[in-house]
Amino acid sequence: MEDVELMRRALALAQEAAEAGEVPVGCVIALGDRIVGEGRNRRETEKNALRHAELEAIDAACKTLGGWRLWECTLYVTLEPCPMCAGAIVNARIPRVIYGAADPKNGCCGSVVNLFALPFNHRPELTGGVLEAECAAQLTDFFERLRLQRPRRRHWTRQQATGNGQQETGDADCHASVRTGSQ
């Protein structure tokens, strides 16, 4: 299989995530032409910050291959990995990372910082922009539909969450802005 075919499978997984109400991110790990791990976002469904597509795919690949070193594998993901997932990629010794859309708010493969360029004991080769327009459109469409469904959704405040009297606001749409090559 070629990079584009494997990214298309990651896009299909991202679509499954979107249909389940999750931010549409999908991930595939391949050993040559064989898919050994797949994942999609499940943070909302499982109420767990660790349920990112990349972590799910790494876990599945480790189980499939019977070890934690994925040193002959390639990871394909529709959105540039975050700091947590970039760390997991380094720890799993994945030598090659292919991503679709850049993440200007949380991306750690060059958008915010490139964690793979730091002097860790493992530095994966990066390729960004594979099916970038399709990956970015999937995310943009998801957040546009979400905003239409909840036009008057309130932003959370830390005071509401903790009751400590401080007013700190945030927004649940942390991935709403996706950068493509044309922006």
User: Encoding tokens for residue 129?
Assistant: 């922009």
Catalytic residue among 2, 16, 46, 54: 54
Q: Which is nearest to 129 in space by CA: 74, 93, 178? A: 178
Q: Averaged over 142-159, what is the pLDDT?
A: 74
Give 150's pLDDT tier (boundaries 50, 70, 90). Answer: confident
End-to-end CA distance of the chain: 30
169 contacts 155 by C-beta, under 8 angstroms: yes
Class of residue 119 by CB neighbours under 10 A (exposed 0-12, middle 13-18, buried 19+): exposed
Give the C-alpha distances (Å, rounded to integers) separating 158 from 18, 25, 45, 155, 163: 27, 27, 22, 10, 7
Q: Look at residue 173 and tell me whether its pLDDT is greater than 50.
A: no
pLDDT, average across residues 62-73: 98
Helix (H) or strand (E) holding 157: none
Q: What does the radius of gyration of the chain's CA atoms come to, in whole angstroms? A: 17
- Please tell me the least confidently modeled range out of 3-7, 27-31, 89-93, 177-181: 177-181
Extract the tokens encoding 3. 């990079």
Known catalytic residue at 54: yes
| SS3 label, residue 171 | coil
Please report how the helices 53-65 and 3-19 are oriented relative to each other, as an axis angle in degrees rounded to 10: 120
Whether 144 and 173 have beta carbons less than 8 Å apart is answered as no
Q: What is the pTM of this model?
A: 0.83
